Amino acid sequence: MSTVMEPRLSKGEATRERILEIAEAAVLSKGFGATSIEEVIAEAGLTKSGFFYHFKDKNALAREMLRRYVATNDQLFDEIFARGRALSDDPLQAFLISLKLLAETMADLPSGHPGCLIASICYQERLFDREVRELTAQSVRDWNARFRTILDGIAAIYPPREPVDLDDVADMLSCIVDGAIIMSKTLNDPKKLERQIMLFRSCIKLMFAP
């Protein structure tokens, strides 16, 4: 899809990356509390001492995992919404294009979306310190604000038919995605996610299209 310029990683940074990737997959499939450091280091091929050299404790691992996750997602959104704007000057059309791109991106994931780390953390809040919880909340607020900005641009040109609160509509996208990921995973049907995004797209059309 997109070739990202990876800055050359030192050996330590590469190991950290490897640990974070393995840990994320484990956390998304069994939860943070049930993810043992032992299994992570076994898969990463290093010892417990090696692990604790990189991460002070499990909470430090969680923080870095989350930072990584948020950064990756931010980048994805930047890309998708920039492409939408590049393909149409009309804000509504641009958004509809971006949503289609988002749906396609999700559909292209080989074995379905692996899960949303923020959702996972939300269902295990008591395990994390305030910093982690604040980070999740802030990233959600940022995403909502981003969508809200887009919707403002649309509503300025196309007044909504039904009286809807644009903040709620902005929130809706995250809700749909998170909810659809859960349904996809629960029913073992990866297609649910892209279908729900496309349905949200239809709702946007119904709300704003003349």
Q: Give residues in contact with DNA (CB under 7 A).
A: 10-13, 15, 35-39, 45-50, 52-54, 56-59
Please identify which residue in the block is written with the tokens 């931010």: 74
Is the alpha carbon torsion for 30, 129, 17, 112 positive or negative? positive
Task: Give the chain's radius of gyration (CA, Å).
Answer: 19
The neighbour count for residue 62, using CB atoms within 10 Å, is 24
Binding residues among 111-130 for a second copy as defined by CB under 8 A: 115, 118-127
How far is the C-alpha of 144 from the C-alpha of 133, rounded, in Å?
A: 17
Nearest distance, CB of residue 136 and a second copy, angstroms: 5
Longest Cα–Cα distance of the chain, Å, equals 63
Residue with tokens 């396609």: 104
**Which residue, 16 or 192, is less far from a second copy as judged by CB?**
192
Q: Check binding of 162 to a second copy (CB under 8 A).
A: yes
61 versus 96: smaller Cβ distance to DNA: 61
- Site residue total, a second copy (CB under 8 A): 54
Residues lying near a second copy in the complex (CB under 8 A): 28-35, 115, 118-127, 136-137, 140-141, 161-162, 164-165, 168-169, 171-172, 174-180, 182-183, 185-188, 192, 195-196, 198-199, 202-203, 205-207
